[in-house]
Structure 1
Amino acid sequence: MRTPISVGLIAVLTAVTVVFGPGASAGRPATADGLADLPALSPVLACADVPGLDLTGVTDAPVTIRSATVVGGNCEVQGSIAPADTIVLRLPVNGWTQRYVQTGCGGLCGNARISYPQAATCPVIADGTVASATTDMGHQGQNDGSWAAGNPQAQIDFAYRGVHVTAQVAKAVITRFYGHAPRYSYFIGCSDGGREALMEAQRHPHDFDGIAAGAPANNMVVQNTFHHGWNVVTNKDAAGNFILLADKLPLIHQAVLDACDRLDGVADGVLDDPRQCRFDPATLICTAGQAASTCLSTAEAGVVRRLHDGAVDAQGRRLEVAIAHEWGSELEWTLFVPTAQGQTVASENFALSYLRYLRDPNQADPAYQLSDLDFTVESFWRVVQSSSYMAAMDPDLSAFQRGGGKLVLWHGWNDQHISPQTTLAYYDAMRQTMGQRTVDGFAKLFLFPGMAHCGGGAGPNTFDVLTPVMAWVESGRTPSAIVASTVADGTVTRTRPVYAYPAVARYDGTGSTDDAGNFVPVTPRHQPADDYTWVGQRLYSHGYQTWCTAYGTDLVCRPADTWLTRRQRVTA
């Protein structure tokens, strides 16, 4: 979660956050931010009366409102949707501008907390005039995955139901509370929240008018098995000891910068597009007499290359999208590279949480170890086939697009958890499926140089991604750039524009390179040759996802698994 920033800083950032393209106006009066000028409405119901609302039939299960209390200018509502989805709503009591914003969860969720990833400076968020809600997605606590054992309904709620039924209930409560339905509804989330965002666009395309999906874990099955598992096992020797330790990461990172930092025309410690970097870790292998602290062993250099490239089988076939960790992100690799022997790295916890409790939804295996995971094509299809209901990889968003929905995808190039290549691959699959012109009319992708997972990192990482979505929906202003800031101790030290992909920012040669005003958009004539050829590339399809039902302690999904079984035979 991003650290809250001061009101003064909010004012500074809000003034420079969004640049709009020449998209056609929707013909509605708009503010300078591109938002519709909507009158603020007062509640027609007392906050204390919300628990008494009859919400029968609003969704597919009973709804219970446990409490509603005025806190800090909002009616804070807590309740649940059967069987176990906790929901939290925040309803302004001093003026509601007819917008609803639902926020996503992270990790494996388990808590209901309203937060606005990369949206604190959005004007209507900052002034507290939006109604908001979130959910814990059907289970409480236990982010280790054990909540899923013998609980198929919790698995369904986490996969796709919890967010949808929360939207239904929240809109019903809002309508009763203000006597007016939301004029516009939005969803914002990062990481698993980004997966939730795409799951909504794919499975429930009419829930939201606009969606901001950050660093989406849409390929959750592969990410939490082969991706994070590879982060660990490829760094172990035959005795089970780690080969590369974190004390070598600054050395590697500096070598990458020395080789590639100036490729974008500015030496600023950030790679504008890491795909342009052709760094070879073998250049750091120790020569005779060289101090070990200043170089890498052959084994260490091999680990660096394998961590960058990603999981493969013994024949070199890719078990994830190529480039698992971009050059320039090395300082973030402490997620999976330990500081000392004997440590358990975060990637191991992520992988085991999934492999033990979600790999096979009907058979938990708490004793499962990473050594049990086979990096083979046969194992790949067995794992992804069993939990396809968790993935949000359908590239056909035609229903969302036809309904006027707008989507902003965003990802940090230095993301240590989820490769930005997975978002690029999804965006490419959308264009292949729906056509480039159609996709350009309702979806934009922003890639933030130097930014880590959902924030942080060496590059500018504080920005407002929600206002561009709202302005696109409400006044037809297509977002062409988002200005990101580096904030240190409450002070903005650098601003930099990030243009809608495939455009990149280039220094115009005048003034400070820390000032966004001194950069212009350039679309490279020759794009890097992205290679999305991997074992699971067929998963980006309109037939992979399944719908599931809980029967006692068993999860039964439809359609039958024939889709993947067919391809398993072909691919294996």
Structure 2
Amino acid sequence: MRRPSPLLLSAVLVAASAFAATAPPSGGPADLRALTPRIDCAAVRGVDLSRATDAPVTIASATVVTAGTPAPYCEVRGTIAPADTFVVRLPTEGWTQRYVQTGCGGLCGNATINYGQAAGCEPVTDGAVASATTDMGHQGRNDGSWAANNPQAQIDFAYRGVHVTAQTAKALIKAFYGKAPRYSYFTGCSDGGREALMAAQRYPDDFDGIAAGAPASNMAVQNTFHHAWNVLANKDANGNYILLANKLPLVHTAVLAACDTIDGLRDGLIDDPRLCRFNPSTLTCKAGQDPSTCLSAAEAAVVRKLHDGAVTSSGARLEPYISHEWGSELEWTLFIPAAQGQTVASENFALSYLRYLAQPNNPRPTYQLSDLRLTVESFWKTVMPSSSYMAALDPDLNAFKRGGGKLILWHGWNDQHISPQGTLIYYDALRRSVGNADSFAKLYLFPGMAHCGGGEGPNSFDVLTPVMSWVETGKQPGRIVATSAARTRPVFPYPAVARYDGTGSTDDASNFVAYTPRNPVRTDADWVGKGLYSSQYQTWPRAVNGKLVL
């Protein structure tokens, strides 16, 4: 993101006026002139990056790729000291002066460019953008063990990896084409969404436009109490699971029977699950009832606990209220096993973090979920050390806004990994922290969509084109059309929802209009860690003598 000096303001305004004329009539991204390389791909290996980045860069290879791609590109692979590996793709023809950096998921460890819900963006499908990604500073297993006694890897994963990769990629772009990118974008989901928000918060000049999907922004809480609760709430005194996956369709059918039509349409989707007042106890078995058609009292209690989220014995919330939305029950196989004796994914997520990341200088490879205490004191001791640099919860994006940055947040209502409540709370905090937030930030919530994609609702869409159009032509994002095999449905900027106009097929997006409820649902942000959504506690740690210094 480049900011003009006051001395150049008039020239910038003239240039902007001339540029606006190049915007297509549809209001999409600008029609930018395509450029060709100034040097051969092989020559990239000799590019001097010593003054362009914060750390030494080693280029391992630079080769032209032609197979399986819409347009040939120069693939550059290398390492940013000490251990951030990266991949950069530079089109060898028709580069339209855009740079797109993609995020990675989980605890990363691989540098695979993944456009995700930006894959349908026309400049991307045409192969006209330069792009890059990074493994976030380590190549270890995705179980957290790479972090043990490796403080620099923790810093790189937290926030540094994305920044130094952006520096490196932009320097390579300038060397290859003789011109820096006119616009730079970041798109990612899950941890990629967290990386996106980290960039906006800590390095507001790195990107002009950002699409942050299902962000794992509350990293420490999510990977400790949230995922641990998914397991612990479903265990009896003997350590056996109470609720098994064969009961999930029963619960889901009952939820839809109770709440599907609250949006005025019976379509298997709940536009705003917060309006659903489903009571799992209504499924409790009656005398003589076939147990396959109902829930035991213990099973019904587990369903309630999984919906509501982690609490202490006295009821204090250890994560935001509503851990898993009503309507998402078919996705709960992430943490509800099919049979006794199985280890669910949520247990692996929680143990990876609790063992190697929660206490940065104290790896605990034998830690078990039974060691986690569900108390307020335990909450702060568990999440605070790493939240100060792993969490991306700072709502003060004034610097990003001042630089002209645009942000689209998006989340699936049926997300089984990361609750959309955290994104709602962050968006509310952002709006309180930044004046006229609608001028640079929008939130989209997709009914029926699971984590980053999938689910019963339409879940394939293009989130990058609206960001590009907003940055390049000033067109504010409106509806985003999501598709599935049999249905298209528009999603509008929150708090607006889609409403059927009464004509035509309910599977056709063109038959829906935006509707803003007169009394929008207020997000319940009252929980133990609500103070984390601030700028007051974050740190820039250093690696000193094998230790992380906060």
TM-score band by shorter chain is over 0.9
Tell whether 2:90 aligns with 1:96. Answer: no
Deviations 1:94-119 (A, max 9, x none): 11000000000100000000010101
- Residue in 2 that maps onto 1:161: 160
Tell whether 2:532 aligns with 1:545. Answer: no
- Residue in 2 that maps onto 1:526: 519
- Residue in 2 that maps onto 1:429: 429
Alpha carbons 1:25, 1:477 under 8 Å: kept: no
- Residue in 2 that maps onto 1:116: 115
Alpha-carbon separation, structure 2, partners of 1:92 and 1:376: 54
- Residue in 2 that maps onto 1:323: 322
Alpha carbons 1:35, 1:475 under 8 Å: kept: yes
Q: How far off its partner does 1:29 sit?
A: 1.7
Alpha-carbon separation, structure 2, partners of 1:145 and 1:321: 25
- Residue in 2 that maps onto 1:290: 289
Q: How far off its partner does 1:57 sit?
A: 2.3
Give the secondary structure class of the aligned counterpart of 2:490.
Answer: strand
Tell whether 2:389 aligns with 1:395. Answer: no
- Residue in 2 that maps onto 1:450: 448
Deviations 1:364-422 (A, max 9, x none): 00000000001110011111221121000000000000000000000000000000000
Return the letter of the residue paired with 1:463: F
Return the letter of the residue paired with 2:32: L
- Residue in 2 that maps onto 1:459: 457
Deviations 1:267-310 (A, max 9, x none): 11111110110000000000000000000000000000000000
Return the letter of the residue paired with 1:154: A
Q: How far off its partner does 1:433 sit?
A: 1.6
Q: How far off its partner does 1:92 sit?
A: 0.4
- Residue in 2 that maps onto 1:494: 487
What percentage of residue pairs aligned between the two structures are identical? Answer: 72
Q: How far off its partner does 1:26 sit?
A: 8.0
Give the secondary structure class of the aligned counterpart of 1:118.
Answer: helix
Q: How far off its partner does 1:25 sit?
A: 12
Alpha carbons 2:27, 2:475 under 8 Å: kept: no
Alpha carbons 1:392, 1:545 under 8 Å: kept: no
- What residue ranges of structure 1 are gaps of 5+ in the alignment? 1-23, 488-492, 558-572
Alpha carbons 2:27, 2:473 under 8 Å: kept: no
Deviations 1:11-67 (A, max 9, x none): xxxxxxxxxxxxx99834212352111110000010000011111022221100110
Give the secondary structure class of the aligned counterpart of 2:117.
Answer: coil
Give the secondary structure class of the aligned counterpart of 2:261.
Answer: helix
Alpha-carbon separation, structure 1, partners of 2:427 and 2:456: 25
- Residue in 2 that maps onto 1:347: 346
- Residue in 1 that maps onto 2:476: 478
- Residue in 2 that maps onto 1:409: 409
> Which deviates further from its counterpart, 384-393 or 238-247?
384-393
Return the letter of the residue paired with 1:476: G
Cα distance 1:541–1:389, how it changes in 2: closer, same or farther (>3 A)?
same
Give the secondary structure class of the aligned counterpart of 2:217.
Answer: coil
Alpha-carbon separation, structure 2, partners of 1:231 and 1:219: 16
Return the letter of the residue paired with 2:433: T
Tell whether 2:200 aligns with 1:201. Answer: yes
Q: Which runs of 4+ in 1 moved over 2 A?
A: 24-28
Give the secondary structure class of the aligned counterpart of 2:424.
Answer: helix
Picking from 471, 495, 509, the partner of 2:502 is 509
1:140-179 matches, within 5 Å, as: 140-179=139-178
Tell whether 2:44 aligns with 1:50. Answer: yes
Alpha-carbon separation, structure 1, partners of 2:209 and 2:345: 33
Return the letter of the residue paired with 2:460: T
Return the letter of the residue paired with 2:499: R
Cα distance 1:121–1:25, how it changes in 2: closer, same or farther (>3 A)?
farther
Alpha-carbon separation, structure 2, partners of 1:242 and 1:313: 20
Return the letter of the residue paired with 2:509: A
Give the secondary structure class of the aligned counterpart of 2:100.
Answer: strand
Alpha-carbon separation, structure 2, partners of 1:90 and 1:458: 34
Give the secondary structure class of the aligned counterpart of 2:271.
Answer: coil
Alpha-carbon separation, structure 2, partners of 1:175 and 1:399: 25
Return the letter of the residue paired with 2:429: A
Return the letter of the residue paired with 1:429: A
Alpha carbons 2:309, 2:321 under 8 Å: kept: yes
Alpha carbons 1:51, 1:66 under 8 Å: kept: yes
Q: Report how many aligned residue pairs link the two structures.
A: 527
Tell whether 2:31 aligns with 1:37. Answer: yes
TM-score computed with the length of structure 1 as normaliser: 0.91
Give the secondary structure class of the aligned counterpart of 1:80.
Answer: strand
Alpha carbons 1:28, 1:475 under 8 Å: kept: no
Alpha-carbon separation, structure 2, partners of 1:28 and 1:240: 67
Give the secondary structure class of the aligned counterpart of 2:487.
Answer: strand
Alpha-carbon separation, structure 1, partners of 2:279 and 2:446: 24
- Residue in 1 that maps onto 2:65: 71
Q: How far off its partner does 1:544 sit?
A: 2.0
The answer to which structure, 1 or 2, has the higher relative contact order (CA under 8 A, 6+ apart) is: 1
Alpha-carbon separation, structure 2, partners of 1:120 and 1:155: 29
Q: How far off its partner does 1:529 sit?
A: 3.3
Q: How far off its partner does 1:545 sit?
A: 1.4
Alpha-carbon separation, structure 1, partners of 2:296 and 2:539: 46
Alpha carbons 2:255, 2:327 under 8 Å: kept: yes
TM-score computed with the length of structure 2 as normaliser: 0.95
RMSD: 1.1
- What residue ranges of structure 2 are gaps of 5+ in the alignment? 1-16, 67-71
- Residue in 1 that maps onto 2:13: none
Alpha-carbon separation, structure 1, partners of 2:361 and 2:108: 20
- Residue in 2 that maps onto 1:265: 264
Deviations 1:330-350 (A, max 9, x none): 000000000000000000000
- Residue in 1 that maps onto 2:209: 210
Alpha-carbon separation, structure 2, partners of 1:431 and 1:528: 16
